[in-house]
């Protein structure tokens, strides 16, 4: 065996062992808290209407199905049927180019805690990180505060024109590219280019309370969406919500997503009324979060390339 082949084999073995141990720790963590492990379908009749997520379709003789982009809707259907607090480790699929941070097929940990708001769930995510990786306690900062800290602007009140001026100063972007950008896209570009690289360098960081327009599945309170993201070493690892339980509001947000997709020339999936009807039946007050386990392993093994933690990256699957 060549030196290169032997090094690759050793790296693969380390990644496999790290993944297996991480799954063991996750299951022990939730068993101690009496959170039930569940399974939901990977192949579904419906998919998300999110304007920024593209799904894989699977044609059959009668209709097209979809590979799940996350187990969220199905898990909330279980919650509405009285499952209690639940979690699962599963595959998810999103039709994006494979790259250093993304594989079209990836592994997700998702869980829902009855009676929690987003702050209580951030605390539990922090506890999981400390249990699995012995990380220092996380810090928290609001979306509004972080833009004030790094760019001296009020992200909720600032105008789109003011954001465009800042983007021309801070980001390699042209006037032509700016023409079609909306406020949310402008804020996201500034966040990803100017702020996120500073996140989670010495300790995990939670960014919370987003603009309402950036959280289609979260409760809105006092003008902010009760959503959070977790960052480690400048990379987003998790996305969580104090979950919206209002079926009519959720349906209206999905319809707004459909209009946005149509305006952008994307396919427009039908609304998942299995999910809407579950909300009508009654979703218990809860908070939920999804964590990319491949990215957690990247953090653990100190690598910037997702292929290093996958036994079969997309180009080799």
- Write b or e for each residue in 218-249: b if 16 or more Cβ atoms lie within 10 A of its Cβ, otherwise e: bbbeeebbbbbbbbbbebbbbbbbbbbbebee
Per the listing, tokens 């999804």 go with: 290
Q: What is the pLDDT of residue 1?
A: 61
Q: What is the mean pLDDT of residues 308-317?
A: 92
* Residue 6, pLDDT above cutoff 80: no
For all residues of the chain together, what is the average pLDDT?
94
Between the CA of residue 70 and those of 78, 255, 308, what are the distances in Å?
A: 14, 19, 23
What would be the CATH architecture of the domain defined by 3-138+203-316? 2-Layer Sandwich (3.30)
Give the model's pLDDT for residue 22: 98
Q: What is the mean pLDDT of residues 15-23?
A: 97
Q: What is the pLDDT of residues 159-200, one digit of tens each?
A: 999 999 999 999 988 888 888 889 999 999 999 999 999 999
pLDDT for 289 = 98
pLDDT, tens digit, 9 for 90 and up, residues 96-114: 888 899 999 999 999 999 9
Q: CB–CB of 121/84 below 8 Å?
A: no
pLDDT of residue 155: 95
Give yes or no for residue 2 having a pLDDT over 70: no
When mean pLDDT is compared across 41-45, 177-181, 205-209, the lowest value belongs to 177-181
Instruction: Report the pLDDT value the prediction gives residue 219, as an integer from 0 to 100.
Output: 96
What pLDDT does 5 receive?
Answer: 66
The per-residue pLDDT for range 45-91, each reduced to its tens digit, is: 999 999 989 999 999 888 899 999 999 999 999 999 999 999 999 99
Look at the pTM and tell me if it is higher than 0.75.
Answer: yes
- State how far the Cα of 175 lies from the Cα of 181, in Å rounded to an integer: 10
Averaged over 201-205, what is the pLDDT?
96
> Which sequence spans correspond to the domains of the chain?
3-138+203-316
Residue 3 pLDDT exceeds 80? no
Question: Mind listing the pLDDT tens digit for each residue in 120-138?
Answer: 999 999 999 999 999 999 9
CB atoms within 10 A of CB 28: 12
Residues of the chain above pLDDT 70, percent: 98
| Alpha carbon distance 272, 254 (integer Å) | 9
Rounded to an integer, the average pLDDT of 224-249 is 96
Q: Give the pLDDT score at 61.
A: 83
Contact of 270 with 46, CB cutoff 8 Å: yes
Give me the pLDDT at residue 179, please.
84
């Amino acid at each position: 065996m060549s030196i290169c082949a032997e090094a690759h084999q050793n790296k693969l073995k380390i990644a496999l062992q790290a993944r297996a141990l991480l799954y063991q720790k996750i299951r022990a963590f939730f068993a101690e808290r009496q959170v039930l492990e569940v399974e939901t379908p990977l192949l579904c009749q419906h998919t998300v209407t999110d304007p920024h997520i593209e799904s894989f379709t699977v044609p059959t003789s009668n209709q097209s199905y979809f590979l799940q982009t996350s187990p969220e809707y199905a898990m909330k259907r279980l919650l509405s049927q009285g499952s209690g607090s639940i979690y699962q480790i599963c595959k998810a699929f999103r039709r994006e180019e494979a790259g250093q941070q993304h594989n079209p097929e990836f592994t997700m940990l998702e869980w829902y805690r009855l009676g929690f708001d987003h702050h209580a769930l951030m605390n539990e995510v922090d506890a999981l990180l400390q249990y699995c990786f012995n990380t220092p306690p996380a810090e928290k900062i609001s979306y509004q505060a972080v833009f004030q800290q790094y760019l001296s602007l009020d992200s909720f009140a600032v105008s789109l024109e003011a954001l465009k001026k800042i983007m021309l100063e801070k980001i390699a972007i042209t006037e032509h590219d700016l023409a079609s950008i909306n406020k949310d896209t402008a804020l996201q570009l500034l966040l990803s280019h100017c702020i996120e690289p500073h996140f989670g360098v010495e300790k995990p960081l939670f960014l919370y309370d987003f603009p309402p327009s950036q959280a289609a599945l979260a409760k809105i309170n006092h003008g902010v969406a009760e959503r959070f993201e977790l960052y480690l070493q400048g990379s987003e690892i998790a996305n969580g919500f104090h979950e919206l339980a209002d079926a009519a509001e959720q349906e209206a947000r999905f319809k707004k997503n459909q209009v946005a997709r149509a305006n952008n020339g994307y396919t427009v999936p039908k609304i998942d009324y299995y999910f809407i009807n579950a909300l009508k039946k009654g979703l218990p007050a809860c908070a939920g979060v999804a964590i990319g386990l491949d990215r957690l392993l990247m953090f653990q093994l100190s690598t910037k390339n997702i292929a290093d933690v996958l036994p079969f990256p997309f180009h080799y699957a």
